[in-house]
Homo-oligomer: A and B are copies of this chain.
């Protein structure tokens, strides 16, 4: 599962700027990053009169515009999606998701705090705060970084979130919901399926197996 970290902070604390610095730093280290931003005012993705705009106007639930170097998509949703849902429905082929905001979501958070501007922290450890980026030191049981220490924050993210891939093993969803698996069941299910799949022609060395069964 792609790890998600939310960069949170009061308005004008420098969230976008921190993301603008973290993305190239993490990219230089070989990671692909996706970002997520909430925009309550809505947005325009396409220009009036264009074919894809006409498709959406006609009532298409989802419209994709594809080109040789980028792809855009716009789709309807019935309510605000959680970061977990955004990851599941939309994001592939990246190593990390950084959201700007989403302080009420359950994902791990890094808060930016400026002492001249802010009175107190927005989040606590109970909100899944994992680090603070600030010009002030805090003793709240999470890692602290100075405002300009982009390398330090990137090291933290790399160490804490990007080196866990190999431990994932197996995920199971039934009727759309993740089913938590105890270690024994994980091993049993994973071993049995790998055994079956390996016996199929051309599948002797499965690195990744995906199965979908519908009634």
Contacts and interface: CB of A to CB of B under 8 A. Distances in A.
Interface in A104-159: none
A208 B174 contact: yes
Counting every copy of the chain, the complex holds 2
A42 B100 CA distance: 26
A43 B65 contact: yes
Nearest to A176: B208
Contact of A209 (B43, B79, B174, B207): B174
A51 B1 CA distance: 26
Instruction: Label chain A's interface by main secondary structure.
Output: mixed
User: Which of A36, A61, A170 has the most chain B CB atoms inside 10 A of its CB?
Assistant: A61
Interface of A: 16, 19-21, 23-24, 27, 32-47, 50-52, 54-55, 57-81, 86, 89-94, 98, 100, 165-166, 168-176, 179, 181, 185, 188-190, 192-194, 196-197, 200, 202-203, 205-215
A37 to B, nearest CB: 5
B54 A70 contact: no
Contacts of A197: 172, 174, 179, 189
A179 B192 contact: no
A98 B60 CA distance: 9
Given A68-B40, A74-B72, A81-B66, A59 B212 contact: no
